[in-house]
Structure 1
Amino acid sequence: MELQTYRYYGHHEGDSEDKYRSAEEVDEVRRNRDPISQLEARIISNNMASTEELRQIDEQIKKDVEEATRFALQSPEPPVEELCNHIYSNCVPQDVRGINPWTKLKSVS
């Protein structure tokens, strides 16, 4: 599935979105070209889920994200030696062009 996205906000928290595009443009995109709204409408029109089911899914996702955030904030910082672990779905080769880049990382704490 490929969805074209649109940045509704600026590049950072203090960046004003009206610097890049007009309010009319943003409103037009939200009404007619928002990929999330379009996908939701397709799901509903094809009887894949109801509005209520999608609302329940959204609520569960928010709960899951809040729980994961709480867990991450309450967990201790991992040692720097763990920095490159668990980022590939398959085992990455230990040597890249004859060098093991992971062994250079040393924790200073």
Structure 2
Amino acid sequence: MKLLLLLFLNVHERKQMLNLLPENLREHQEVARLDSSYEHYQEIPANVLLMYGGKSNSTWVDMSMERLAAVLPRSETKEFPKLDHFGIDKKAPQEVARAVSVYFLK
């Protein structure tokens, strides 16, 4: 993977990505630990904004959003039809920031 990073990322992006790998591993370990336990999320009392890119081309993303929205008692879902998984920071950070601002200013 490190060799592929050399080909596809500039020096700054590569350094940032490598620095995030330990946190990324911890995140995936937590996801694995909580696998199939999404029903427990119904205990979350906070308002939750679920955001995802509509160009993810993955049925599991749509299914995850539907299930989480059904389980979280106070959730709202926002799809970004023109964005993929990396759209938040690579393609349209202003659009995403605007949606977050609208959500919190209600």
TM-score by length of 2: 0.28
TM-score by length of 1: 0.28
Structure (1 or 2) with the greater helix fraction:
2
Structure (1 or 2) with the greater strand fraction:
2
**Larger Rg over CA atoms:** 1
